[in-house]
């Protein structure tokens, strides 16, 4: 989905550190991006408030000034939002509202979540190491439809409530198109997730994906019920290539798949519009229990920055360099606390410095 010329390139990036460990991992990503910058790639960063801290300072999880900044840049880097202070689900203002508002504002309908099992971490992973050989999965999650955006009962404090899972065929087709294209550039295998044996919306989902398959006959398509998918992700993960899912199922399954990488802290993501504008963030949350201690794993944030270079700026060389540097430091034994498992952990800053040294 890269749409911009390669070089020379000047790009503006909105930086939304957010809450908890967000500012710590964001600092790591910015340092790495500055390292790969050059005369041909000049990046300017514009920091703005979002999430819980924005509620405290501006009375809004997504202040108008932040939204304006995001409208004037080439892409968005987001740390993490939320925390115990703002965790009341009945509160009129919540950090997550800012995240949903950004997705809707820029029509960020395609959420890409790559999950890779690192050989250097396989012995420490929760699954048997032999199950992790060759695991390299790309989740394509539809992000602006489904149950998270459906109608909700006004009186959730009473004795009943409901949420509506709603999809239009067009919403399914555009997400499926991204997934088919991705599979065509990988192993030509697409697994579409639904619950078509129970849900009418899943039967629409399956029909829509089948309809589009006529344009991608070179890609092998399989349909898998979400409960079976949850099991097979942990029993035969290497069999998967690209996984397409709706908002709810994609959210749950991609988080489950974090065990394949060794930690949720390892996983990046990209949320893209049709023209390549994107928001890039690690899959993990704000982790308030470790915030300020300098022990957060910055890998997911650093790899999200690499995805920004690839998908919004078209800078494949720099993106691959960052990914190879992360591979290198992991292979060399660098471990933050979440993936140490008996090894001596290093700090967020030390891990970041190791990646920058690899880049050098």
Catalytic sites, residue numbers: 148, 195, 227, 251, 255
Local structure of 142: helix, strand or coil: strand
Q: pLDDT > 70: what percent of the chain?
A: 96
For residue range 119-172, list pLDDT tens digits in order: 888 877 788 888 999 999 999 999 999 998 887 655 556 678 888 999 999 999
Tell if the pTM clears 0.85, that is, is over it. yes
Tell me how far the alpha carbon of residue 6 is from its chain's centroid.
24
- Name all contacts of 313-319 with Cβ < 8 Å and 24+ positions apart: 313/2, 313/4, 313/9, 313/11, 313/41, 313/74, 313/75, 314/2, 314/3, 314/4, 314/5, 314/6, 314/9, 315/6, 315/9, 315/41, 316/2, 318/36, 318/41
Asked if 291 contacts 268 with a C-beta cutoff of 8 angstroms, the reply is: no
- Where do the structural domains in the chain lie, given as residue ranges? 1-108+266-360, 126-261
Q: pLDDT > 90: what percent of the chain?
A: 83
Q: What are phi and psi of 132, to 5 degrees?
A: -95, -10
When pLDDT is averaged across residues 313-336 and rounded to a whole number, the result is: 96
Determine the pLDDT at residue 154.
52
Q: In the chain, helix, strand, coil percent, each to 5?
A: 45, 20, 35
Is the domain 126-261 a CATH 2.40.30.10 member?
Answer: no
Tell me whether the CATH fold assigned to 1-108+266-360 matches the one assigned to 126-261: yes
How far apart are the C-alpha atoms of 128 and 71, rounded to whole Å?
A: 46
Ranges of beta strands (E only) in 124-241 are 136-142, 189-194, 220-225
Is the domain 1-108+266-360 a CATH 2.40.50.140 member?
Answer: no
Q: 151: which DSSP letter?
A: -
For residue range 216-271, list pLDDT tens digits in order: 999 999 999 999 999 999 999 999 999 999 999 999 999 999 889 988 899 999 99
Mean pLDDT of the chain: 93
């Amino acid at each position: 989905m890269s749409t911009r010329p390669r070089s020379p390139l000047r790009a503006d990036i909105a930086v939304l550190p957010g809450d908890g460990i967000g500012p710590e991992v964001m600092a790591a990503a910015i340092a790495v991006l500055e390292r790969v910058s050059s005369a041909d790639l000049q990046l300017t960063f514009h920091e703005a408030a979002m999430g819980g801290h924005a509620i405290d300072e501006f009375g809004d999880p997504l202040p108008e000034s932040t939204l304006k900044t995001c409208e004037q840049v080439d892409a968005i880097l987001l740390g993490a939002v939320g925390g115990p202070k703002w965790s009341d689900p009945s509160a009129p203002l919540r950090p997550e509202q800012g995240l949903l508002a950004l997705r809707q504002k820029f029509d960020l309908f395609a959420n890409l979540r790559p999950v890779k099992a690192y050989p250097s971490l396989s012995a420490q992973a929760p699954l048997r190491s032999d199950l992790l050989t060759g695991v390299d999965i790309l989740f394509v999650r539809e992000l602006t439809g489904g149950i998270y955006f459906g109608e909700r009962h006004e009186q959730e404090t009473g004795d009943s409530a409901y949420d509506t899972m709603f999809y239009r065929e067009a919403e399914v087709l555009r997400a499926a198109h991204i997934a088919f294209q991705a599979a065509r550039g990988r192993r030509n295998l697409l697994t579409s997730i639904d619950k078509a044996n129970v849900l009418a919306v899943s039967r629409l989902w399956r029909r829509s994906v089948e309809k589009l398959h006529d344009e991608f006959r070179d890609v092998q398509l399989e349909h898998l019920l979400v409960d079976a998918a949850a099991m097979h992700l942990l029993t035969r993960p290497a069999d998967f290539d690209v996984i397409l899912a709706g908002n709810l199922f994609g959210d749950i399954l991609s988080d489950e798949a974090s065990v394949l990488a060794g930690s949720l802290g390892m996983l990046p993501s990209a949320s893209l519009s049709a023209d390549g504008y994107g928001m890039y963030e690690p899959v993990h949350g704000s982790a308030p229990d470790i915030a300020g201690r300098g022990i957060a794993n910055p890998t997911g944030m650093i790899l999200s920055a690499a995805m920004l270079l690839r998908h919004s700026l078209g800078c494949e060389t720099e993106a691959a360099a960052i990914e190879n540097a992360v591979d290198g430091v992991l292979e060399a034994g660098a471990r933050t606390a979440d993936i140490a498992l008996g090894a001596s952990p290093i700090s967020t800053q030390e891990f970041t410095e190791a990646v920058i040294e690899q880049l050098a």
